[in-house]
Amino acid sequence: MGRGRIRRNLTDILDLLQITKTMGNTMEKTKTFDISVCLGSKDHRLFCQIINQGIDSRLTAFTKSNFHYDESRYYFDFATCELEILIRRLVDLETDLADLWAADIVLSAFGYETV
């Protein structure tokens, strides 16, 4: 499967999530989608880049999510109501690692598989 096809599929899923959000069928705001990665890993640097963007061009930011670490791992507890921001930022990076994470999150959180 080509990378372009995965990206188009992820973009279509983001559009679907936006439609669902507009209709009021979002996940509960109190739940989190938890990701933990090793400190200093490529995954850690990727997610730090995502959350350190602050307010983006869509005027969105992670305001309900929590991030913390211990001696070896970094924990990203994304509020489910902010998963669309996370997925969109991953897709916008246009890297293989970011696309893989976006596809995994979409499958885990929403049950949509990118083909």
State how far Cα 75 lies from the chain centre.
14
Over the stretch 56-95, which tens digit does the pLDDT of each residue have? Answer: 888 899 999 999 999 999 999 999 889 999 999 999 998 9
Does the pLDDT value for residue 22 go beyond 60? no
What's the pLDDT band for 33 if we cut at 50, 70, 90?
very high
Residue identified by tokens 């938890």 is: 34
pTM to 2 decimal places: 0.77
pLDDT band at 112 (very low <50, low <70, confident <90, very high): confident
Range list of β-strands (E), 39-114: 66-69, 73-79
